[in-house]
């Protein structure tokens, strides 16, 4: 029996790995940094960073680096994205390769085992956690999960890493659009990310003073939007700000999608639709800004750095105490943990009784056909 196996059976967690999976966001490097310092300072663990998520585990040799104090010198804490790299391309159980679909899960599990890790901390959204939990079950991998997603749609936690940064970027965009909207008496439309959840649009819309907030969860009408803009004109306000989440549908219920050269379809273009419909029916001049990936790559806000740091510390403690298959979460102003399965199954979108919906309405914002 090798020494790593003996250490584990005796209760010593001495060697752990970290990987980031799914779309990047602000705060990932802060989480990795926190994991390293907690593991090294309190438990004297060796910490290994796996590059490019599960792709790194499928390579031979495994694409991994041992993290040291020198790794975290300089500006990593302040940097967006993840220095380890990530992947959101393909399910390893149905991975596209050379025109075929193959199962690479065995390769990934073998890669994990070849490192002789006592545990693995995964940082990902609901989709990544679902895939990695399935891999862990199949390969008897000891994992702990940290939720990250700019969409903030993981239901078991009030906040996920990356959300505050995305909201901050969208708010700054509204601040910048305000002056140009006023200069030309235009309606400026800002399209933001969020998938099927409207949290970014709702939060940034309130913070940035949007006159219209459109989110997937609340039905709207173009006439309702126009009515709001006309009311503003009566009050001698000749410009406006509209923020719309990427998954908002057309009035006929269809989604607006972009088809890319690789054949993949992604959400995008609803801002142009809203602008076109407004200009068909009014003399209001519209301009559209699609914010895109700057919401992911921006330097993390203080809130995201703090949340990521707290999550990293707690995740290491879970591994040290052999509490596997758990996800850290932020609830009632403290870090807690729940079963990963619970984190996966509970989806969090914007509900009609969300206090921020009432806040937007109280500010005179049009947010849909709410009676």
| Angle in degrees, CA 28, 96, 141, rounded to 5 | 50
Cα–Cα separations (whole angstroms), residue 277 to 271, 273, 322: 10, 6, 57
Q: Are 150 and 193 in contact (CB under 8 A)?
A: yes
Q: Look at strands 46-50 and 64-66 and give their pairing.
A: antiparallel
Smallest CA-to-CA distance from 175 within 210, 143, 142, 145 is with: 210
Annotated catalytic residue 151: yes
**Residue from 24, 52, 151, 304 carrying the catalytic annotation:** 151
Q: Could you tell me the CA-to-CA distances from 213 to 190, 205, 360 in Å, in that order? A: 10, 6, 8
Alpha carbon distance 71, 180 (integer Å): 43
Give the CA count within 13 Å in the CB-facing half-sphere of 90: 17
CA 17 to chain centre: 21
Please compute Rg for the chain using Cα positions: 23
DSSP letter for each residue of 97-144: ETTEEE--HHHHHHHHHHTT-SEEEEEE-HHHHHHHHHHHHHHT--EE
List residues with catalytic annotation. Answer: 151
């Amino acid at each position: 029996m090798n020494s790593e196996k003996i250490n584990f059976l005796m209760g010593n967690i001495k060697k752990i790995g970290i990987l980031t999976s799914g779309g990047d966001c602000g705060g990932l490097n802060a989480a990795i940094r926190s994991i390293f310092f907690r593991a090294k300072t309190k438990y004297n663990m060796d910490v290994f960073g796996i590059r490019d998520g599960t792709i790194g585990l499928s390579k031979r040799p495994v694409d991994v680096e041992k993290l040291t104090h020198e790794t975290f010198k300089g500006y990593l804490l302040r940097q967006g994205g993840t220095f380890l790299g990530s992947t959101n391309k393909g399910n390893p159980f149905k991975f596209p390769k050379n025109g075929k679909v193959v199962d690479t899960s065995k390769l990934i599990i073998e890669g994990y085992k070849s490192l002789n890790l006592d545990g693995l901390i995964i940082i990902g959204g609901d989709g990544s956690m679902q895939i990695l939990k399935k891999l862990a079950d199949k390969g008897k991998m000891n994992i702990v999960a940290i939720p990250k997603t700019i969409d903030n749609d993981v239901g078991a936690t009030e906040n996920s890493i990356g959300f505050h940064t995305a909201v901050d970027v969208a708010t700054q965009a509204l601040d910048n659009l305000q002056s140009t909207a006023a200069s030309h008496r235009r309606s400026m439309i800002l399209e933001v990310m969020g998938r099927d959840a409207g949290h970014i649009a709702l939060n940034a819309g309130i913070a940035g003073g949007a006159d219209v907030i459109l989110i997937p969860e609340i039905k709207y009408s173009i006439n309702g939007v126009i009515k709001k803009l006309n009311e503003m004109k009566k009050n001698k306000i000749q410009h406006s700000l509209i923020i719309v989440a990427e998954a908002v549908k057309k009035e006929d219920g269809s989604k607006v999608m972009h088809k890319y050269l690789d054949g993949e379809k992604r959400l995008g273009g609803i801002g142009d639709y809203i602008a076109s419909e407004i200009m068909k029916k009014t003399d209001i001049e519209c301009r559209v800004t699609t914010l895109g990936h700057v919401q992911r790559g921006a330097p993390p806000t203080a809130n995201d750095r703090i949340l990521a740091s707290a999550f990293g510390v707690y995740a290491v403690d879970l591994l040290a105490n052999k509490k596997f298959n758990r996800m850290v979460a932020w609830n009632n102003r403290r870090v807690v943990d729940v079963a990963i399965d619970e984190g996966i199954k509970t989806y969090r979108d914007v509900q009609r009784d969300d206090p921020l919906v009432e806040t937007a309405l109280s500010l005179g914002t049009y947010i849909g056909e709410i009676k």
